[in-house]
A and B are shown apart, each in its own frame.
Chain A
Amino acid sequence: MSKARFKEIDQLSGESSVLMSWQKTITVVATFVACVWSFQTHAADAVAADPEVVEKNRKANEACFACHSEFGFKNPPRTDMDMKKLAETLYDPKVFAGSNHGTMDCRQCHGQGYNDYPHSVTGKSETSPCAECHATKVARLEPQYDASVHARLESVKAKFTCATCHDPHIDLGATLLKDPHKIAIQDNKACLDCHNSDEVFAKYAADDEKTPGIKKKRPDVDTIHDWLPNTRLHWKTVRCVECHTPEVKANRPISHEILDKEKAEKNCLSCHSANSSLRTRLYRHLVKDEQERFGFTNSIILSSSYVIGATRHPLLDKIVIGLVLLTLGGVLIHGAIRVIFAIRRKGKTQ
């Protein structure tokens, strides 16, 4: 090999090692950024744990709740407030403290424009979007939401934010709320607040396709669900999204693609069978604790609700089926013996 060739190889390997070191640097930096991002994202999902910070935030929030609560509204600390506007932004400090965001300082989302009163005129527009903390979640859910019935029309989609359905001052995640009945009540409220109120529905509704210029009329929730037996009982015990979202794989969070009545689940057996989809939906956070208590299939569901078809006792079913078959077999055998004896008697007589 010529010297020039060695030099060329040296030069190449030198360039290559420089490239390698850059690659390493980029990988390390990317990993670090990913870690920080991931930490921040997960930190956003978890409830702040440091009791000192929690207490500090609670104290800071007292100043907000001095006005933005039922008590504050009835006993306004100032006389120069816009009470009409205030009436729209009242929260229960106890409910907030128990919510997903209950340990945070209000200003972590609402910004510094709310340090003083009167609040900054740009305060509302400076409120942090959910994606600022929940970036990965939003990135994952956005395509699902875009396929949703709420995003079908641009005019409707433009009015929707995460907070339209998920009230960050009240809502608590399923893993923290635990009780499926409470989860159903909380999550169905998000749907029924609009779909059970002509006034709120009209705020979001688009023009009726048949009558342009006139808003689409809210369909009566009872009427459109009249095919569903025990409708009201369903609303108390399961969420609207159990049927109004497409099925996802086990261990995946429920989809944010809200399905209209044409696409929604209408097969009762989806939930009312041994392989109930409730396991991957409302009871997803509890399924890991399934122990088939006292021999019941889906005993984790049975802890909250008796769901016919889903919460069975296979051994009891076998005993009952066995007894019924025994009765049937017994009378058939008895009948067969009677026939045989009757034929024999007839033969003897003849």
Chain B
Amino acid sequence: MKILVPVKRVIDYNVKPRVKADGTGVDLANVKMSMNPFDEIAVEEAIRLKEKGAATEIVAVSIGPAKAQETLRTALAMGADRAILVETDEEVEPLAVAKILKAIADEEQPGLVILGKQSISDDSNQTGQMLAALMGRPQGTFANTVEVDGDSVVVKREVDGGLQTVKLALPAIITTDLRLNEPRYASLPNIMKAKQKPLSVKTPGDYGVDIAPRLKTLKVAEPPVRQAGEKVADVAALVEKVKALGLA
């Protein structure tokens, strides 16, 4: 079974995003970029399934600028077998990403597509579900545990009240939540080896997908700033404050 793993190049998890002064977006110039953390978990899960013998090949895909090659090389260094970059300098919305991934899935015929549940940039949380709908296949979103079992996959999902387990017929789409696994670091020899692994470059046009945005961003602004209040000296002073709030 082949596993397709889409990965996105986003602002690094530890960087505090700044809104551009002209209100057109977030300033990404000279900012550290990394693989979306949920996508790292997706790559790791694919590798573990391959190590367990449930998968034979892992194909990483990224849709983005030429620099997204770095993100794909990271996936290859972790253990993906080959990579596809669908290169574009435009912002591509989840719906268009899902359409491109659908076209790639039609070619590659993966048994599983494992995606991050959301990117920490746009926070949309849509792509996996949309891809599943376009492919007419089941989805195991916010996965906590994944077990491949013959021609189906059992996914334990993180839901608001706790955990829910569903059984999905393969091929299926999975989106990762935080507790699915802890992604490995790529070793230096594997980083070197990853440079030799195949990486093909395509364009959205190759897949016949129109990536024109459906949502117009009119403005991007800073959120209202919360002011720091006061520090109290001791527990007794805190107790007074808490009582004044009517809590006790």
Q: Do A and B come from one complex?
A: no
A residues sitting closer than 8 Å to B (CB atoms) are: none
